[in-house]
Chains A and B, each alone.
Chain A
């Protein structure tokens, strides 16, 4: 009787979650390993022929894929640094007793609640119409660039929007960390004669290292997986010059109909994400200290 009741409880409590997890995440994930080695066309599973390492050979010589790879790496490095520096500075300023700090926090966070797709469309207008109008009015060369029209401006366009979207979220995390700093420690360092920069470098930053780990992790993995902004801002163009990795996988399968190849790319993408995020967490975790 007791045994039966235990079983029933296990099924009732864990069963539903386990079922959805297996069907939606686990099975497709395992299937991915199989399809990577086939010429799957997206439809009939049984007609997918085993082609061995053929897909990976194709990928090795696929310059588009490697361009997307470098694009994504460059994009991740630039946005992670820019978003976190901006967010940290905002957090430093907005933990000071400003009169308008609540409304300022709201404003900086606001872009984050809007999804990447709609944000991208908003900025498409800003870049193509808004910037050129400002350019005419002010004659600043920055606004007269052919925004989104060249590989370079396309890249920086996506960077700007990504940072605009992400900084507020990271700011909120940094503010929470800064507010949690032990006051006596800061006071002690100040009495010992530390100036603002020494305080920041030797006390504040080491003490909020856990928040830095989290923010770097979130921005790295979001930047590396960036898709929505890519689709709505540049569609990967001009040509395929601003295609992120995630977009490349999507295009391979849904535009070119090569699902087997797409899956192989997707699996490499998974390995790339894992390596990058695990290394990054491992590196920053080592820097965490206790008060």
Chain B
């Protein structure tokens, strides 16, 4: 019989301790928000107080200088196209590798899994060269193409593990009913993958949205492709000591991903758990 733990004094102590630590975890956000509304003078005098009046001015200035609508759209488009592409190519690839374990396909599977250990920094310099040679550098589709290449191995691996547990009898029944191999994949297998697709979407979205190094190397001279991390970095470099501008910039920069997290929290935590246990 399971003994249900009751709410007792030791638990109350734990709860208070955890709550205190949580407040500590949140203080950086407090500092950013509170100071983002102050004038520079106010920040320098006392960075810990809540602002006496709200300078929304700070925000509107920064919004224009970062060109937030542009960088936000870039981040969004790059993330959406890359994640959709990764899901598409890695489900198809994983499906084939599971159902047709030929010598070549097994070799490919092992190569993809082994490649996960290669750190991005080990190939970034050569990647810059390769992407400029084949006209990927400086284009949004080029950045997306890079994410497809780097996102494939882990996503394929997660789908591979999942597809192995899908009973082949369902597919055989569909073939008997006259479905083509492509129809079997699209109408039968793909819908069954939805739980693990959620995981793959979340892991890749957080990674691509926050990534700095790949876009900074592959955007080349095309400043119209600046993403949020790049835009904020450049802005921050220019206004290092002007906190009254740098801080609202940061606040705008982190707002979208925090909103994304708070809305989809349940899926994100479940997705990450599933992703790590399988991986």
Q: Which of B195-210 contact A (CB under 8 A)?
A: 206, 209-210
Q: Which residues of chain B from 233 to 279 have any CB-CB distance to chain A below 8 Å in the complex?
A: 233, 236, 243, 246-247, 250, 253-254, 257-258, 260-262, 265, 268-269, 272-273, 276-277, 279
Which among A94, A105, A274 is the interface contact of B117 at CB below 8 angstroms? A274
Residues on A with beta carbons closer than 8 Å to the beta carbon of B279: 214
Q: Within the complex, what minimum Cβ distance (angstroms) separates B265 from chain A? A: 6
Within the complex, which residue of A133, A227, A232, A266 is in contact with B46, where a contact is CB–CB below 8 Å?
A133
Q: Which residues of B contact A94 (CB under 8 A)?
A: 18
**Among candidates A27, A32, A110, A134, residue contacting B25 with C-beta atoms closer than 8 Å:** A110
- Per the 8 Å Cβ criterion, residues 1-46 of B in contact with A are 1-3, 5-7, 11, 14-15, 17-19, 21-22, 25-29, 31-32, 35, 43-44, 46
B268 touches A21 (CB 8 A): no
User: Which residues of the other chain, B, contact A118 by a CB distance below 8 angstroms?
Assistant: 210, 229, 232, 250, 253-254
Taking a contact as CB atoms under 8 Å apart, the answer to whether A114 and B254 are in contact is yes
Asked whether, in the complex, the Cβ of B95 is within 8 Å of the Cβ of A13, the reply is yes
Task: Indicate if A60 sits at the interface (CB-CB under 8 A).
Answer: no
Instruction: Count A-side interface residues using an 8 Å CB cutoff.
Output: 92
Q: Let me know if A42 and B123 touch, CB within 8 A.
A: no
A107-B22 in contact given A16-B89, A42-B129 (Cβ < 8 Å) = yes
Is A12's beta carbon under 8 Å from chain B?
yes
Contact call A25/B261, Cβ cutoff below 8 A: no
CB distance from B90 to the nearest CB of A (A): 6
Given A10-B100, A21-B112, A231-B212, A32 and B126 contact (CB-CB distance below 8 Å): yes
B249 to chain A minimum Cβ distance, whole angstroms, is 9
Cα A215 to Cα B272 with chains together (Å): 12
Query: What CA separation (Å) do A112 and B276 show in the bound complex?
Result: 15
The contact string, 1 if C-beta is below 8 Å from chain B, for chain A 91-109, is: 0011011111000111111
Main secondary structure of the interface of A (DSSP, over half): helix
Q: Which residues of A contact B52 (CB under 8 A)?
A: none
A25-B269 in contact (CB<8A): no
- Give the dominant DSSP class at B's interface: helix
User: Is A291 located at the chain interface by the 8 A CB criterion?
Assistant: no
Which of B150, B206, B277 has the largest number of chain A CB atoms within 10 A? B277
**Which residues does A use to contact B, with CB under 8 Å?**
5, 9-10, 12-14, 16-18, 20-21, 23-29, 31-32, 35, 42-43, 45, 90, 93-94, 96-100, 104-111, 113-118, 121-123, 125-126, 129-130, 132-134, 137, 164, 169, 172-173, 176, 183, 187, 190, 210-211, 214-215, 218, 221, 224-225, 227-228, 231-232, 246, 249-250, 253, 259, 262-263, 266-267, 269-270, 273-274, 277-278
A-B contact sample (16 more), CB < 8 A, given A25-B118, A108-B21 = A14-B92, A14-B108, A16-B92, A21-B152, A24-B149, A27-B130, A31-B126, A31-B129, A32-B122, A98-B18, A108-B25, A109-B269, A115-B257, A250-B124, A270-B122, A273-B119
